[in-house]
Structure 1
């Protein structure tokens, strides 16, 4: 990476690609074959070019020129070389370049010195000084060409693989001092760039070849020269699409290219960056990074140099957007309907300013209305089948069907939402019978539903289990016309509550039976929460619309944290964060029209204080009667965090040590520096941080209006 990105462009499109038809006419299922047959260079040719590059490297390191070490950059170093002709770089880290300023001052002299040295070599004496600190050699082996640039550079890493903030602070200081262009010293970080791409699967690089070839075809039609900077930006955009949408080593190429094209279509919102080598921790680096991220879109930051915005528009993005829309509309790429792509947002929540959070939720998190209508219709069909036909030849009857999950609560995300269908069966007459018989009913329901779905226009995919006694039947319901889906669970359950009248159960003994069973056995808390699905749903569904939007935002944040964690830790359930969000709003605002940023900030603050949390509600149970009072006092004295399910007093979704709250708390602390919590201002120095609402971390019986009298389980600290 380096000057070949910011100066001295080579017209790589001037060399024709022989035997290629128009890429947009290639059928989606043949794209992989197209890459292999037309775009991937011959391995033997690359090996011979490797030998040439190594020979040049050895020659220069053994000459009088003080070369300490070398790094390979450009498409050649990133292993994204296209067949026929491509760019590359050999970065020469020099012993007498001690600073970034040295590199700028000595660059032309060292280029001249390297050129003179190469002229003494019988094979590599055709190096061409292209000016601007660029010396180029054309390497050609059996038709495969690499325009190899030789670039003397300062080594800021001192042989280390991991840079620290001091390196980037010095970079910014030096750039200000010598008035360097953004990205002018990007060449110094070629080793990091090489490592960034080395870690990516070969299939991702094959997808990059396809995107680059498409771009070069566009350039031919426009009769313009290709931009190495824009090519590299498209490579990074492809990596971003894969990281955010897939992360699998084996994936569908057509789905991948559709995702990249969709992102290009949204170039006016595109803001892509990484924190692999730099982050928001250091103030100087953070300010540099935020300055870039606030630039006019599109923004695609070099993952090794925060000063280098490769998405900076030179007029090409409008043409690219039109070309992307044209290919996306081609029948060849739409071999199925809807043509699938990964769900990848064009921008990051972390860098979304506080005043744009409402738009972020509306644009990116709310499900498509048409999709919700389709899901509601499909769920109705399934529920009617379950009620009327699933058990028509059995003595078991469906007493009622209750819809739960985020879809029923009104908090579904655009992608990957969940929904529950709870079947209350007449044969399940107690909690104990539910525990012992539900697996048999799950198997029966699956057999019946598999037969039924063949007669319906429903795209249903069942998940298989290796459990001996499955508790739930899970399946995925996908729209036939939209790229959205919902994961469904069907749960057989005991009708512990009976009919609900205005929120009051006709069976007041339901909790008494549950608590007695819970105390007398080794049941885990929340074991029978499905019996209380209706109360859970009603508790969230009845909340204001804007509060549900905040819940969506928190759930999306949770998914981002989960994705970031390479090992899959046992994180708290999303339901715990839904309840925490409701609690934060009830205690901190209570207004239907509130500031989303303040609410989000408050929830992160509560997560950080997870070791103090004790939260509960008395909407469905309370402290008035024994044994509930004694049981609740025991529950709220458990190890924190304690977050009691408002529908099920045995369900502590805070869980104490059961889940890794510490990991979420660590992420929450990092997010406090997010743009989400900055008030807009005309000056960076004058910006103010969003403050959290004042919310108590401990809910007490007295704060709920309960009169608690001393008992053997009473703790005065509870109030």
Structure 2
């Protein structure tokens, strides 16, 4: 494999470098696999229930040259964790004798060497290009045939650790099968990235002359975390991946990494174990199979600090001729463990887009909009009335990365709601043609990429910073200019909504088709809010994205817009102050999410109960199954959706988050949420008849309002 300095390897050649120099050769791998299977068969002839393969070998992250593995033998006579601390020497003697007398070496195509360091047992398997040293470890089979451990397993683990005064993580070998499973379903390319990180780590060890810098398992887990949080794709840029991991190493003093795939916060004992670990001094990287095992524990920072310096040197080398290149936006610690009084700093440091990028974005959008207005349909009588920017970027609630925006184009050829559907494809085709011309003719400070995906309803492009790890994805949408030239504070004519309602109730309804026509109203509704409220919206959206990533059911969760509106409602009902405690606002929103089955929220800033047709429609809407959250821009849009989306999953996550440090103040006390009702108050319209069900639903509030 040689000792080629990794920082001299061009990023575009890393994939080839991994394949040619870091992956074990296929022949060596096959020979060692066959040898391991033979040895495991011999071991199972003793009083062994099963053998688990662990270490780099079991995780399939073996580096070419020298690597490690474990053969965990589950002893039938072990009935509890503490049994592991007995008879180790005797058991290993028996296994060593078995291996020596069965003449296993003669049956294998690899060189086999057994050793007894400090009373233990290792088996070294060697081919011409590969050496793997396996540590043989007797263990208690706590899992048996179970694929997923119960809370009882971890309660028993904690009890045994306390009773035997064993070190945290001492029994983690019992969970080797789970460690293997945790890595088995990962993409091949992620394991290639792990090999690259381990090779970099090996180079650091050679340079510093310290073979015990840090367990490679800690860096493997950190690499998985970086990929999960920042990418998640099976195919990705290896250069971005390695830069992300090195960026995280440079932030080791803030690292707090854990998973809840095998254990979680539901059981009180397990919850206390996890909270005790993740609130201990950083860095913290918890073994995803054993919550007592902090694999990054480094009391005096003697392991992490040299790696930090090497990571800086590697990234600085690439910065000599400009920025080192893009990397994934991954935080060193989860939001869950950020104390409430530090949430404003968290938002500023990690969620707010960079001002330079925002300026570049603003210039690029203006250039694109001007170009489209001047060039679209220029050889016809069709004109573009206006282009409106919506979405997160338009409302001022964009996150640092992965935010969305809409550019809604209002051409004169779309003269009604229904013609929007008929004309959409031809308008999209014209816009694509002009966007491609704009891309060629204009210079941009950001990277301008048009999506190659063709869809009749929408055209997409992205704007990415060349220097910063920030981007915004845009959808270009044609729409009917039903609002005309809108002035701020303008309230649309009721006729706009009566026509929309009529279409909504028609035999072949086009529901949700025309919300783009009201983009300006949606944008203005949020844009006019205080800066701190928009920051709270950012925080809630970031929380939502964490839930989305964890639950892996993107299409089934309620839309982000519902959470934006819920956040505004919480602030309106609970505070209305321009400056407020972010922790209190955040807690209030999550409390409302847990009460999703009671939510009935609407506004009357653009439409109201005064017009009979609109009133009757609104009363129908608010009698639908909860949650109901009506779009303040147009009443046909219910982003609460009743049982259309999986609010119960989001509510479950919100309930778990109520234990978070986010909701503790500087003194360590939990903050109290604002007192916010789950339903909006319905105004009293004198002379208007209300259906009995509505009277019953809102009678209490109506009496309160009258008083």
Shared fold, TM over 0.5: yes
- In structure 2, the partner of 1:79 is 60
What CA distance in whole angstroms lies between the structure 2 residues aligned with 1:713 and 1:557?
A: 39
Matched, 1:110 2:91: yes
Q: 1:292 aligns with which of 269, 277, 292?
A: 277
What CA distance in whole angstroms lies between the structure 1 residues aligned with 2:89 and 2:686?
A: 83
Q: 1:269 aligns with which of 244, 254, 259?
A: 254
Most deviating of 167-176 and 251-260: 251-260
Matched, 1:259 2:244: yes
What CA distance in whole angstroms lies between the structure 1 residues aligned with 2:356 and 2:281?
A: 33
- In structure 1, the partner of 2:36 is 53
Contact 2:376–2:383, Cα closer than 8 Å, also in 1: no
Matched, 1:423 2:409: yes
Contact 2:58–2:70, Cα closer than 8 Å, also in 1: yes
Matched, 1:343 2:322: no
Most deviating of 30-39 and 431-440: 431-440
What CA distance in whole angstroms lies between the structure 1 residues aligned with 2:693 and 2:161?
A: 65
Contact 1:28–1:334, Cα closer than 8 Å, also in 2: no
Listed one character per residue, the Cα deviations across residues 619-669 of structure 1 (whole Å, up to 9, x for unaligned) are 112122332222222222222221111111222222223333233223223
Shift of 1:712: 6.2
The 5-angstrom pairing of residues 512-661 of structure 1 reads 512-520=498-506, 522-661=508-647
- In structure 2, the partner of 1:302 is 287
1:708 to 1:226, Cα distance in 2 relative to 1, 3 A:
farther
Shift of 1:335: 9.6
Listed one character per residue, the Cα deviations across residues 345-370 of structure 1 (whole Å, up to 9, x for unaligned) are 22222233323322222221111111
1:708 to 1:521, Cα distance in 2 relative to 1, 3 A:
farther
Listed one character per residue, the Cα deviations across residues 546-587 of structure 1 (whole Å, up to 9, x for unaligned) are 111111111112212222233444322211111111001111
1:179 to 1:710, Cα distance in 2 relative to 1, 3 A:
same
Q: How many residues align?
A: 688
Contact 2:69–2:135, Cα closer than 8 Å, also in 1: yes
**SS of match in other structure, 1:276:** coil
Structure 1 unmatched runs, 5+: 1-16, 682-686
**SS of match in other structure, 1:572:** coil
Shift of 1:89: 1.2
Contact 1:498–1:507, Cα closer than 8 Å, also in 2: no
Shift of 1:521: 5.3
1:511 to 1:338, Cα distance in 2 relative to 1, 3 A:
farther
Listed one character per residue, the Cα deviations across residues 347-402 of structure 1 (whole Å, up to 9, x for unaligned) are 22223332332222222111111111110000110111122232333212222232
Most deviating of 403-412 and 40-49: 40-49
What CA distance in whole angstroms lies between the structure 2 residues aligned with 1:568 and 1:617?
A: 28
Q: 1:490 aligns with which of 476, 481, 491?
A: 476
Q: 2:169 aligns with which of 157, 179, 183?
A: 183
- In structure 2, the partner of 1:321 is 308
Listed one character per residue, the Cα deviations across residues 8-30 of structure 1 (whole Å, up to 9, x for unaligned) are xxxxxxxxx5x342221111111
- In structure 2, the partner of 1:696 is 677
Listed one character per residue, the Cα deviations across residues 37-60 of structure 1 (whole Å, up to 9, x for unaligned) are 222112222222233333333333
1:102 to 1:584, Cα distance in 2 relative to 1, 3 A:
same
What CA distance in whole angstroms lies between the structure 2 residues aligned with 1:130 and 1:618?
A: 77
Structure 2 unmatched runs, 5+: 106-111, 700-707
1:710 to 1:27, Cα distance in 2 relative to 1, 3 A:
same
Shift of 1:501: 3.8
What CA distance in whole angstroms lies between the structure 2 residues aligned with 1:648 and 1:224?
A: 65
1:180 to 1:322, Cα distance in 2 relative to 1, 3 A:
same
**SS of match in other structure, 2:630:** strand
What CA distance in whole angstroms lies between the structure 1 residues aligned with 2:386 and 2:687?
A: 38
Matched, 1:130 2:113: no
Listed one character per residue, the Cα deviations across residues 274-319 of structure 1 (whole Å, up to 9, x for unaligned) are 1111111111111111111112221111111111111112412111
Most deviating of 503-512 and 363-372: 503-512
- In structure 1, the partner of 2:448 is 460
**SS of match in other structure, 2:401:** coil
- In structure 2, the partner of 1:441 is 427
- In structure 1, the partner of 2:19 is 36
